[in-house]
Amino acid sequence: MALSRRHGIPLALVAIDIDHFKAINDTHGHLVGDQVLRAFADTCRQALRSTDLCARTGGEEFCVLLPATDLGGARTMAERIRDQVTRLRLDAQTDAAAELRVSASFGLACSSERTPVFDALFSHADQALYAAKRAGRNRVAAWEELLRPPSE
């Protein structure tokens, strides 16, 4: 974050939540839930650049830090991961389903004068993530777009 500010380089943060993960664990068991987490992390790893950082921040929550990336680049990356995740077909290994499909919701935020510290950037990405979930899940929302007045 300090390098981004010092050199005027954009920095994006993506907050991600695997949709309905609790239901996956409850229906198919924790072993299948772990399989989903591994498949999701592998999908992210394959889509990201070597300079990007992906971290699991909670049970089914992840974040991706994208140095030298503006909002458009972050959206492109998030949409690519979202699309690849929806293409995953996992063996559910249970009577409830033979094949398990997964989706995820994404919240984007970019560093700016409104994000003087990492906590603010993370909070903005998290707010955008919850907007994506409220809008129906399996989508990408950007904090910067939440600030725009609704069009009439």
145 flagged as catalytic? no
Please calculate the CA angle 59-117-5 and round it to the nearest 5 degrees.
120
82 exposed, middle or buried (CB, 10 Å; 0-12, 13-18, 19+)? buried
Single out the catalytic residue among 60, 61, 144, 145. 60
| Among 105, 114, 90, CA closest to 36 | 90
Sign of CA dihedral 57, 132, 138, 32: positive
CB atoms within 10 A of CB 7: 8
Within 8 A by CB and 6+ apart from 119, the residues are: none
Residues assigned a catalytic role: 60
